[in-house]
Amino acid sequence: MRSARWSFVPKQNSNGGKDKLGSISKQGDRYLRSLFTAGALAVIRYAKIHGTDHRLWLTRLLARRPTKVAAIALANKIARMAWAMMARNERYKEPAALAA
């Protein structure tokens, strides 16, 4: 990944308590964005079949938002984790709540 300048979620500009959402950035690799989105949709499809008890964040998100909106939020989260692992040269560390 060249840079973390692109995002899956709209740019947010807040002023005086009013939230204004901009457009989703088209910077970066289009193919990579589509892979993250397809991966997120696969995670959600699997979670709907097998349950989302151990993924509380995803469970709450799917209760509040449509599937495709939740997939974009999940893709953004996965991309940020991938970028952080690459930037720090670390391996993935499973959260303590999931490891137990």
Q: Are 47 and 36 in contact (CB under 8 A)?
A: no
User: What's the Rg (C-alpha) of the chain?
Assistant: 15
- 28 burial type by CB count under 10 A (0-12 exposed, 13-18 middle, 19+ buried): middle
For the chain, what is the mean pLDDT?
79
* Domain residue spans of the chain: 29-99
What pLDDT, on a 0 to 100 scale, did the predictor assign at position 23? Answer: 59
Q: Can you give the pTM of this predicted structure? A: 0.71
Q: Are 1 and 21 in contact (CB under 8 A)?
A: no
pLDDT tens digits, 49-91: 988 777 888 999 999 999 999 998 999 888 888 888 888 899 9
What pLDDT, on a 0 to 100 scale, did the predictor assign at position 40? Answer: 94
Confidence band for 98, pLDDT divided at 50, 70 and 90: low
CB atoms within 10 A of CB 23: 7
